[in-house]
Amino acid sequence: MSQGTEYTPPKVWTWEKASGGKFASINRPVAGPTHDKELPVGEHPFQLYSLATPNGVKAGVMFEELLALGHDAEYDAWLIDIGEGEQFGSGFVAANPNSKIPALMDHTTQPPTRVFESGSILLYLAEKFGTLLPTDHGARTEALNWLFWQMGSAPFLGGGFGHFYAYAPEKLEYPIDRYAMEAKRQLDVLDRRLAESRYLAGDDYTIADIANWAWYGQLALGRLYDAAEFLQVQEYTHVVRWAKEIDARPAVQRGRMVNRTFGEPETQLHERHDASDFETRTQDKLQSS
């Protein structure tokens, strides 16, 4: 692997060129909208604007779990194509000033409540519907421990390891080694916890599991960055056991499909507006019609 030439930072950094890599065309050092575009609004109380990245998967899974539990949580899920910069449209920026998916608008309140950051969406919905978050103080705290652990840790997996291993314009040994070490350390943290507990907060499945599974569960199942062999994920046997158990849940299987634009056509549901869409509007069905 190439180390490249040594880089000496200037006294003052300036943005003179795209930063390189898969998302170079949309990287920029400022916030705010780049164009005017209002967000679509469907007929359901909850409007989700997302893409099936690990963070987006959390929201899709959460809604499908709520519906499976019998809650009145019908939602419209609209695709936000981050590769095309749709997250910088004025409507999306109003929903999330950080221009990251997912973003949620709750129209059961007046005015509608905006919710951004995937962890905030999980916590908001768990509290709104009184489920998937323990009421016992100790168990609730443990669930929140693992929810916020994921929010703080996954950027090292995604923006660190994932970027340099899968997306950077050239393979550099130092950052790949640095973040591979951290990714494996994080897997070990989870493995040690799951050696003593069925789920992260104890015996019950919670939003902590949804949040962590979207990243580390899918990594353990070989779905992130084509890195399962490189990171030897099979060594983390308790994470693998937990990942497979959650993966078998029907709501998780549906949630993974929401706003998905990659993979096999039958796994892609670009927009979700009704429960029947999983049977009638996946890409394989649309392509054959």
Domain membership flag for residue 38: no
User: Per-residue confidence at 92, pLDDT binned at 50, 70, 90?
Assistant: very high
Q: What is the CATH number of the domain that holds 53?
A: 3.40.30.10
Domain membership flag for residue 110: yes
Domain count, the chain: 2
**108's tokens:** 């059961």
Strand order in the sheet with 46-50: 75-79, 46-50, 103-106, 113-116
Domain membership flag for residue 219: yes
**169's tokens:** 């314009």
DSSP state of 108: T
Q: In this structure, are 113 and 195 located in the same domain?
A: no
Cα–Cα distance measured from residue 246 to residue 210, given in angstroms and rounded to the nearest whole number: 8
| pTM given for the model | 0.96
Q: In this structure, are 68 and 113 located in the same domain?
A: yes
Domain membership flag for residue 231: yes
Domain membership flag for residue 250: yes
92, 81, 89: which is closest to 23 by C-alpha? Answer: 81
Q: In this structure, are 167 and 235 located in the same domain?
A: yes
Domain encompassing residue 105: 46-129
Please write the tens of the pLDDT for every residue from 25-61: 788 899 999 999 999 999 999 999 999 999 999 999 9
How far CA 224 is from CA of 14, 23, 217, 221, 231, in Å, comes to 32, 17, 9, 8, 11
Q: Which residue has the tokens 């929201």?
A: 59
Cα–Cα distance measured from residue 193 to residue 196, given in angstroms and rounded to the nearest whole number: 6
Q: In this structure, are 148 and 213 located in the same domain?
A: yes
DSSP state of 49: E
Q: In this structure, are 115 and 141 located in the same domain?
A: no
- Report whether 134 contacts 140 (CB < 8 A): yes
Domain membership flag for residue 86: yes
Please write the tens of the pLDDT for every residue from 157-175: 999 999 999 999 999 999 9
Q: What is the CATH number of the domain that holds 175?
A: 1.20.1050.10
